[in-house]
Amino acid sequence: MLGPPGAGKGTQAERLHEDFGLLHIATGDILRAEVAADTPLGTEARRYMDAGELVPDEVIVGMITQRISGGDARDGFLLDGFPRNERQADALAEALEQLERRLTAALLIEMPDEALVRRLTGRRMCVKNPTHIYHVEFDPPKHADVCDQDGARLVQRDDDREETIRHRLQVYHAQTEPLIDHYDHAGLLRRFDGNRNANEVHAHIRATVATLRLEEEL
Ligand code: ADP
Ligand code: ADP
């Protein structure tokens, strides 16, 4: 899944996980778990995350390579938040080649920057399960600051502050956006308009993934 911060990658990946049983691998969630557990990796990553910068490639690539080699990834997986630059895309291609697997598609969710700021400042996340995502305006929980699914508290991410958001968007345009051409040239790119409601975006992506799956089986 490709797209700027706040485009809805996590929201859609969770739905596709339910539709197709694909393992959802979100680098941001893995990193935040390391931060919460106070591991050395978490301590290193946190500095970059709080500043809205990318965590060094070495850290991320090792993490992902291990994750996609696991038995639970055998029937397919969705990468959410990786790759985020050309070096990571090359490392992914290499890791997949070694596993004798290949990328089926790059699903791009497009959104203008101004809409993204509103998306991200209103985002709330469950403390117990980071895949439970809400929005104060667009997808509010039934009770303020409480997760509908498990009753845990909802929090705002440290990096979802306007100043950090603006910097993350700059990082996206400078480092991640070139991957759009990269995957377009490889014939893998599929584009979706993220500026629609989550159900509409989901319907479009689900139809595309269903078609891709059928083609794989033929
Ligand atoms: P969002 O989807 O809102 O951009 P993520 O949860 O994907 O946020 O990422 C949060 C932060 O984690 C990023 O700003 C960055 O610091 C770090 N991060 C996540 N994925 C990567 C990656 N592939 N490479 C480098 N840093 C990453
Ligand atoms: P990403 O993983 O790309 O950073 P998220 O899935 O975390 O994005 O979504 C960012 C915020 O926008 C969340 O608060 C989420 O509830 C909300 N959101 C996601 N998709 C939509 C949509 N289509 N319309 C309105 N709000 C959305």
Nearest CA to ligand 1 atom 6: 28
SS (H, E, C) 14-46: HHHHHHHCCEEEEHHHHHHHHHHCCCHHHHHHH
Close Cβ partners of 33 (under 8 Å, ≥ 6 residues apart) = 42, 130
Provide mean pLDDT across the span 125-140. 96
Question: Residue 48: CB within 6 Å of ligand 2?
Answer: no
pLDDT tens per residue, range 50-66: 999 999 999 999 999 99
Q: Note whether 96 and 124 are within 8 A (CB).
A: no
Q: For the segment 9-24, what is each residue's pLDDT rounded down to a tens digit?
A: 999 999 999 999 999 9
- Verify whether residue 168 is a known catalytic residue: yes
* Closest ligand by atom to 123 CA: 2
- Per-residue confidence at 218, pLDDT binned at 50, 70, 90? confident
Please confirm, yes or no, whether 124 is among the known catalytic residues.
no
Selecting from 3.30.420.130, 3.40.50.2300, 3.40.50.300, 3.40.50.1100, what CATH number does the domain 9-217 have? 3.40.50.300
Please choose from 25, 31, 32, 133 the residue to mutate so as to test ligand 2's pocket, defined by most ligand atoms within 8 A of CB.
133
User: Which of 6, 26, 30 is closest to 16 using CA atoms?
Assistant: 26
